[in-house]
Every structure is written in structure tokens, then in C-alpha cells.
Structure 1
Amino acid sequence: MDTTVEWAVVPSDIGPLLLAATDRGLVSVVFHADEAVREAAIDPLGRQLGAEPVESSEGRLAEPIRQLAEYFAGGRRAFDLPLDWTLTAGFNRQVLRELAEGVPFGAVVGYGDLAKRVGQPGAAQAVGAAMGANPLPVVVPCHRVVESDGGIGGFGGGLETKRTLLALEGVLPQPLF
């Protein structure tokens, strides 16, 4: 087990992101990481992982930071990072892994369709709950999950963040202003 979890706050097109990594890989991405969010997230994360939080933008986080910068600059369509799935389990983990592996850049999937892909065709609401509990948003692209009737659906980072990410991937038009 890790004795530390490295964390850093990095700027992005959707506001500051708090990234955290263990020796197994990226373990957490937190939206809107202002000072209050950082304070609310870092110590509980350390307790959940049984590790001491250490601020560092190098080491374990250098590659995630580089790949996220490339993504937001439009030069990266897929992440190639080790992920630590410790903060999710069971159905949620199964759904998130399917999302990460089976819904590429520029594509979207419905909640119900994603439920069918993991063998639970009646579990669209549970897929929504899994998206809301995603510890690795952007990298595990829960923004690509939409309503089957064409609606954008919900998003833990806020609907404007979801729209921005979908526009970056060419799914929605860029905002006019």
C-alpha cells in the first residue's frame, strides 16, 4: 500500500483541476479546485487511500498533467495513463471501465446503452449514479454519456463544463461567447 498520494492543482479550459495519483496510477480528478474544494478533498482522499497527501506536480503526476494539457490544446484524443481504480468498485467500476475503453473521443453513448453494454439493460439510472461517482472525470469520460432522447443529461462538474468538453471533442458546437 502507498504511504503517499501525490496531488497537484493544474489549470485547464474548464477551470482548475485537482489531480491525485498513487504508485498504481491516477486515482482522482476533481473539478473546480479552488482553495475550498482542495481543503475539502485532500485530507478525505488521503484517509480513503490510507496514504499521506503530498503536493507535487512532478513524479507520478507529470504524465497526467502533460496529457491533460495536450487534450485541452486539441492534440490528444485518448489518454494513455495507468489508472488506480481503488475509489470505485462493483457495478460502478464495471460501467466506468466500459466507458473508458468503449466510448472514444468525439462519440457519445446513452445511459441505457451503456447499461446494456455491461449486461444490465434496465440499469440506466444506476449508470447515471456511476457517472456521478466517477473519481476520474475527463480521463474516464463521463461527459460522453447523454440522454437517449438527445438531452445532455447531468454532470457533476456542471452542465457548462460538460458542454465545454463535448464542444472540445466536436460533439457540440463551440459557444458563441
Structure 2
Amino acid sequence: MDAFEQLVGEILRMKGFWVHTSVKVGLTKEEKRLIGRYSAPRWELDVVGYRGSDNVLQIVECKSYLDSIGVQAASFVEAELGHGGRYKLFNEKPVREVVCKRLVAQLVESGACAATPKVQLALACGKFKSNHDRQSVSEYFNKNGWELWDDTWLRDSLRSMANMGYQNQMSAVVAKLLLRGTLE
């Protein structure tokens, strides 16, 4: 399991979600045809969380990019202009609709969630190329009703985790060690 996906999953658990990572979505031949990927393997989602209290199904694409250039707004702008690119769930409406619909059917059929959950998409990212990219992507996500979980969201979530009771998870232990005050 990817460490960044694990961290995001642990934060979602802290917020009351049941969480799975690397979730495979089995598309039918017809669904593959609808998205123009006839020989595609099962679609894989980084993190999927479900919270039964409000019937929310959270789908999260994770990109840490901690030691690279970071998330770039151009990845979304190019897609709006019809140039495709990364972040297919966000940039390709047919893919998003088909994959989300199939995931819901798969989870409802297996009894993992109630019927007609509210599906929310989020991008969790550890770094942006620039403040301009952060602002542009944030505006794009707000316009589309998606959630953007950036480094600020991650730090705030880790601070909350550090102040909770003992949790036997790596992220919680590290958060407590790094973010709690030291003895004087």
C-alpha cells in the first residue's frame, strides 16, 4: 500500500469512514465501450471511504508529489480544452460517471453501503507546483463541487490526530511525536 494513501485513509477513519485502498472497480464490456477503453483492466481507485451515518461514499485520488514538481493547474486546464491528460476521474466526465456508478452498484450489491449514497470526489495532494496552481485548482474544484485536500488540510488533520486519544497507527504516533509540545 502506498504510504500517502495509507495516511489519507487513516485521516478518513478518524472522521468516521470505513476505508479501503486500491479498490478495483469491475467494469462491464459495455461500460468499457462507453468510456472508450475496450480492453481496460479493472479501474483502480486509490482510497474509498464510506460513512454510514450520512450515507457518504468518498472517492479519493492521492498524489503526494512531495519530492517532485507538484500538482499543476495545467493538468486540469488542458483537459477542459479537450486534451485529456491526468486525473481521469476529474477530467473525463464519461469515465467519472461510469466508474462512480459501477462502484456504487458493486458496493450496494455486496452490502458494503446503503443504496443511493452521496458520492463525493476528492484529490489529496501534498504539494502544488506554485501558489497560482493551488489557487487555480482550488477554484476549478469548487466550481465542480469536488473536494481538494492539500498540504494545509493534511497538516490540520494531523494536528487533530495528535490531540486525540491513543491510536495504534503509524500516522497517529508520528503526529503525536512531532506536533505535541515537549517536556520543559
TM-score between the two structures when normalised by the length of structure 2:
0.26
TM-score between the two structures when normalised by the length of structure 1:
0.27
Which structure's CA Rg is the greater one? 2
More strand by share: 2
